[in-house]
């Protein structure tokens, strides 16, 4: 049963092949047996999961089951969960038990899903390899020597390894799409404002967005149905109706206009990844789509602009971790300044400190105009690039990452790590949605195809991804660990 997609599991539960409790117990046992090796989960919530599964079974017995009732999943440990430890992958919040549910969590609970636990991540979602976690690195289920990507590396690895059929991730510069690509699963970053950020521990507020990670685009659509929508508690969430994201999945792709951004196929792209990507695009041509080259001329400014804006916001967002009210507090502080300095020095990891420093610097008097203001101007240009491109084409396609998953410990230099996000980061700056779908393998490691659409084009993205998955079977491939039986 751990091999099935959400929609298959829903059908099996409806058919009475097994109960939610049996399903949860089976997956909890797999986690128990396999996750010691993978390290994809920081906290396993066995008790709550079984209670939720029982409640789901009871609900089903009453004939009140919805499309997600009793379906298990895991939640990135950046989303606050009432009464459950929520760490953000940081020593700073190592013992922090959230007093409330994030809106996304609340909605998933209301939909009857069964959360099995909280997934590992780069500390405060800052990273592209999941190596920046205070709870240890996560291994890629396809190859234990490889990273799973980041920052939602735990979510991606747990789904790929068959520990959960789906997981929630968050994406600030590629943190859903890149690990989805590295682990051979499907991951959707919705339009900024589509999903509430309330209760998601903030990294960079103007870029953060939660989204589903699952085995198929169809499953992502099911989950998006549950989590999308305006939230009065998040002023940046958009008051716009939520369509049924499964409705357009089966629409044919005849006449679809695909744009290939020239800048996404240039220097630094692994030739084998490029080959896999182009092969995938030929599938769309076979499905009746037309392909043309387009340009996103400001692409090469995306990483510098991101690394001004995101750290600036982060430096402010992370100021609340001061050892005063919650989170890590140093032993025996001598005075207030000592309390601040040591609590923060001990609580934060290296990459988090680096970004706080960058952000503090770029917001400083005398530097603000040169960095922050300029970066915001660049951001507008990048957004305009996309809007211009979507005047010509329906979707953009390219690789989700310039390489397949790299080896653990391979990227020592922060800048080379930052460059990993070259194809994903501009999407967050523009606020548009993007999805990564499995599209082949390079030396046994998965390759992801990224599909981008204009603001609120999720129905189209899911339709395009789903049609690709009807025509290919990359998303059905499983790593050996997923085949392991207990």
Closest approach, Cβ 320 to another protein, in A, equals: 4
Closest approach, Cβ 480 to another protein, in A, equals: 37
Q: What are phi and psi of 400, to 5 degrees?
A: -80, -25
Q: What is the Cα–Cα distance from 369 to 376, expressed in whole angstroms?
A: 10
**Catalytic annotation present for 374:** no
Q: Is 430 in the site for another protein (CB under 8 A)?
A: no
Q: Is 450 in the site for another protein (CB under 8 A)?
A: no
**Catalytic annotation present for 411:** no
Query: For residue 94, with 0-12 CB atoms within 10 Å meaning exposed, 13-18 middle and 19 or more buried, which class applies?
Result: middle
Q: Out of 112, 149, 150, 199, point to the residue binding another protein (CB under 8 A).
A: 199
Show contacts with another protein in window 211-270 (CB under 8 A). Answer: 232-236
Closest approach, Cβ 425 to another protein, in A, equals: 17
Query: 368 is written with which tokens?
Result: 């603000």
Cα angle 52-54-55, degrees, rounded to a multiple of 5? 60
| CB 323 within 8 Å of CB 339 | yes
Q: What is the Cα–Cα distance from 4 to 370, expressed in whole angstroms?
A: 51
Catalytic residue chosen out of the listed positions 40, 151, 196, 343: 151
Q: Out of 3, 11, 37, 99, point to the residue binding another protein (CB under 8 A).
A: 99
Question: Which uninterrupted H or E stretch holds 351?
Answer: helix 350-362
Q: Where are the alpha helices (DSSP H) in 39-142?
A: 46-61, 103-110
Name 435's Cβ contacts closer than 8 Å, sequence gap at least 6.
Answer: 177, 186, 187, 188, 189, 217, 220, 450, 451, 461, 462, 465
Q: Out of 95, 364, 377, 416, point to the residue binding another protein (CB under 8 A).
A: 364
Window contacting another protein (CB under 8 A); options: 27-35, 125-133, 197-205, 273-281? 197-205
Window contacting another protein (CB under 8 A); options: 24-32, 365-373, 421-429, 462-470? 365-373
Q: Out of 322, 385, 421, 458, point to the residue binding another protein (CB under 8 A).
A: 322
Q: Is 137 in the site for another protein (CB under 8 A)?
A: no
**Catalytic annotation present for 107:** no
Q: Out of 142, 348, 372, 406, point to the residue binding another protein (CB under 8 A).
A: 372
Q: What is the Cα–Cα distance from 267 to 269, expressed in whole angstroms?
A: 6
Q: Is 86 in the site for another protein (CB under 8 A)?
A: yes
Instruction: Look at residues 183, 111, 189 and name the one whose alpha carbon lies nearest to residue 446.
Output: 183
Question: Which uninterrupted H or E stretch holds 427?
Answer: helix 425-430
Closest approach, Cβ 375 to another protein, in A, equals: 11
Which amino acids are annotated catalytic?
A: 76, 151, 175
Binding site for another protein (CB under 8 A): 79-80, 86, 88, 93, 96, 98-100, 102, 197-202, 204-206, 232-236, 312-313, 315-316, 318-320, 322, 324-326, 336, 340, 360, 363-365, 368, 372
């Amino acid at each position: 049963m751990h091999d099935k997609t959400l929609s298959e599991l829903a059908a099996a539960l409806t058919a009475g092949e097994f109960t939610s409790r049996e399903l949860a117990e089976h997956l909890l046992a797999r986690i128990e047996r396999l996750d010691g090796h993978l390290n994809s989960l920081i906290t396993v919530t066995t008790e709550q999961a079984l209670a939720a599964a029982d409640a789901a079974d009871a609900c089903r017995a009453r004939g009140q089951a919805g499309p997600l009732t009793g379906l298990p999943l895991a939640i990135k440990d950046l989303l606050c969960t009432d009464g459950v430890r929520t760490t953000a992958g940081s020593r700073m919040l190592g013992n922090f038990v959230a007093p409330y549910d994030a809106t996304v969590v609340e909605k998933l609970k209301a939909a009857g899903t069964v959360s099995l636990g909280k997934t590992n991540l780069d500390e405060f979602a800052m990273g592209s390899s999941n190596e920046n976690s205070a709870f240890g690195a996560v291994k890629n289920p396809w190859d234990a020597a490889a990273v799973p990507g980041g920052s939602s590396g735990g979510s991606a690895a747990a789904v790929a390894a068959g520990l959960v059929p789906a997981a929630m991730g968050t994406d600030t510069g590629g943190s859903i799409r890149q690990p989805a690509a590295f682990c051979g699963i499907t991951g959707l970053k919705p339009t900024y404002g589509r999903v509430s950020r309330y209760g998601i521990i903030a990294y960079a507020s103007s870029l953060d967005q939660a989204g589903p990670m699952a085995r198929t685009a169809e499953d992502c659509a099911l989950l998006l149905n549950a989590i999308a929508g305006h939230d009065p508690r998040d002023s940046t969430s958009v008051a716009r109706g939520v369509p049924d994201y499964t409705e357009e999945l089966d629409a044919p792709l005849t006449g679809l206009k695909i744009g290939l951004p020239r800048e996404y196929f240039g220097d630094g792209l692994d030739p084998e990844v490029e080959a896999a990507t182009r092969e995938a695009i030929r599938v769309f041509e076979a499905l009746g789509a037309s392909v043309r080259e387009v340009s996103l001329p400001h692409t090469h400014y995306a990483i510098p602009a991101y690394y001004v804006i995101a750290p600036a916001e982060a430096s402010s967002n992370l100021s609340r971790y001061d050892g005063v009210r919650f989170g890590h507090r140093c032993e025996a502080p001598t005075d207030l300044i000592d309390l601040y300095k040591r609590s923060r020095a001990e609580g934060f990891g290296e990459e988090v400190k680096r970004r706080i420093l960058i952000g503090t610097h770029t917001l400083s008097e005398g530097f603000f105009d040169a960095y922050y203001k300029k970066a915001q101007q660049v951001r507008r240009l990048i957004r305009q690039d996309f809007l211009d491109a979507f005047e010509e084409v329906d979707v953009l396609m390219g690789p989700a990452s310039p390489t397949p998953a790299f080896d653990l410990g391979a990227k020592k230099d922060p800048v080379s790590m930052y460059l990993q996000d070259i194809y994903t980061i501009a999407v967050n700056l523009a606020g548009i949605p993007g999805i990564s779908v499995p599209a082949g393998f390079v030396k046994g490691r998965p390759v992801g195809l990224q599909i981008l659409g204009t603001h609120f084009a999720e129905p189209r993205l899911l339709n395009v991804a789903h049609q690709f998955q009807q025509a290919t079977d990359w998303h059905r491939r499983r790593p050996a660990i997923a085949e392991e039986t207990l």
